[in-house]
Amino acid sequence: DEAGLEAHFEATIAHKDRIEPRDWMPEKYRRTLVRQIAQHAHSEIIGMQPEGNWISRAPSLRRKAILLAKVQDEAGHGLYLYSATETLGVTRTELTERLISGAQKYSSIFNYPTLSYADVGTIGWLVDGAAICNQVPLCRTSFGPYGRAMIRICKEESFHQRQGYELLMTMMRGTDEQRAMVQESVDRFWWPSLMMFGPPDEASPNTAQSMAWGIKTHTNDELRRRFVDMTVPQAEALGVTLPDPDLAWNEERQAHDFGEVDWDEFWKVVGGDGPCNAQRVAHRKKAWDDGAWVREAATAFARKQEETADH
Ligand code: FAQ
């Protein structure tokens, strides 16, 4: 009966065991997962655009090969995460339509433009760095397919982070112009990277329930603080300044103090009014529309194969 199933679900969560697709789960748990995993998948797919912008202009064959591999990895992560979402009873077509209509979100960070080649390095260092900080704990999330997907994705994100840092390190060893280009890029991406962790805890409607269900294991602010502590020494090693006058080591807390994120900007970008929101969604819609004939042909071919197999 329903009460027994619910008790079993609660016990599984309490033991930190995993919920699998065939297990009974509360409808709100299922909906929360579809929301979070689909948004995560959409972020990977939309996230191909800012860096994809530089593939044709990479400064060397080696840099181009690295960038191509990274952007392809992001496509793979997106497809992997759509598959995890499909185990909850939605199709990829429905999810893509919800992205294009604006019913579902994707990470705010991908609504900022990539204005210089240094942005490729900064995205790897800061954006993938923030992604790792947020996603390593998700390897132990309560829903099996999501947690297992995160393990592989985090390994690839580590490579992405290192390639970005190495790119910036190379530019910092270059000319004054190159160093200035890195600093200017870090100035633009620092605050938006902090926004990736979501609103402050007191303004995060989903955190409490998601933590009770073991979907999230840390709050948004906890992970944001962890990211700042992790990144400051990396910035020092690189020789760049993080654009926050309030950033300082707090001896007593053994952690960094830092300034307040511009939450008005965050909500504006999340609400669809960031620098590139319209462009990102329009680009995705065009690719989806242009690909309709491929999906139709593949479906017709699969149907024909089935019919032939019957005879
Ligand atoms: N952008 O109550 P909360 C990557 C929304 S990494 C846009 O705190 P929650 C790798 C939130 O959805 C990026 N919207 O929500 C890569 C909710 O709205 P809703 C993807 C945001 O879910 C690197 C509302 O605000 N990573 O792609 C954002 O408990 C380089 C209230 O917020 C993930 O998705 C935001 N930044 O916590 C690819 C990680 N923050 O849905 C290419 C998995 C919040 O009720 C290149 N997701 N919102 O309408 C999570 O960990 C969580 O969903 C959070 C938000 C922490 C993002």
Mutate to test the pocket of ligand 1, among 43, 156, 268 (most ligand atoms within 8 A of CB): 43
Distance 206 CA to ligand 1 centre (A): 11
User: 185-219, pLDDT tens digit by residue?
Assistant: 999 999 999 999 999 999 999 999 999 999 999 99
Distance 203 CA to ligand 1 centre (A): 13
DSSP letters along 133-176, please?
HHHTGGGG-SBHHHHHHHHHHHHHHHHHHHHHHHHHHHHHTS-H
Q: What is the average pLDDT across 262-266?
A: 98
pLDDT given at position 1 = 82
User: 19-73, pLDDT tens digit by residue?
Assistant: 999 999 999 999 999 999 999 999 999 999 999 999 999 999 999 999 999 999 9
pLDDT tier for residue 95 given thresholds of 50, 70 and 90:
very high
For residue 210, which atom of ligand 1 is closest to its CA?
29
Mutate to test the pocket of ligand 1, among 80, 270, 281 (most ligand atoms within 8 A of CB): 270
Residue nearest atom 26 of ligand 1, based on CA coordinates: 40
ipTM for the complex shown: 0.98
pLDDT tier for residue 180 given thresholds of 50, 70 and 90:
very high
Ligand 1 pocket, residues with Cβ under 6 angstroms:
35-36, 39-40, 43-44, 47, 74, 105, 107-108, 123, 127-128, 131, 134, 195-199, 204-207, 210, 220, 270
8 Å CB contact between 129 and 231: yes
pLDDT tier for residue 309 given thresholds of 50, 70 and 90:
confident
Report whether pLDDT(2) > 90. Answer: no
- Which residues, other chains included, contact 279 with Cβ-Cβ below 8 Å and sequence gap of 6+? none
Residue nearest atom 31 of ligand 1, based on CA coordinates: 204
Report whether pLDDT(311) > 70. Answer: no
Mutate to test the pocket of ligand 1, among 39, 127, 194, 277 (most ligand atoms within 8 A of CB): 39
User: 80-94, pLDDT tens digit by residue?
Assistant: 999 999 999 999 999
% pLDDT > 70, the chain: 99
C-alpha dist (Å) from residue 285 to 46, 61, 101:
11, 30, 9
Query: How many angstroms separate the CA atoms of 276 and 209, rounded?
Result: 32
User: 151-174, pLDDT tens digit by residue?
Assistant: 999 999 999 999 999 999 999 999
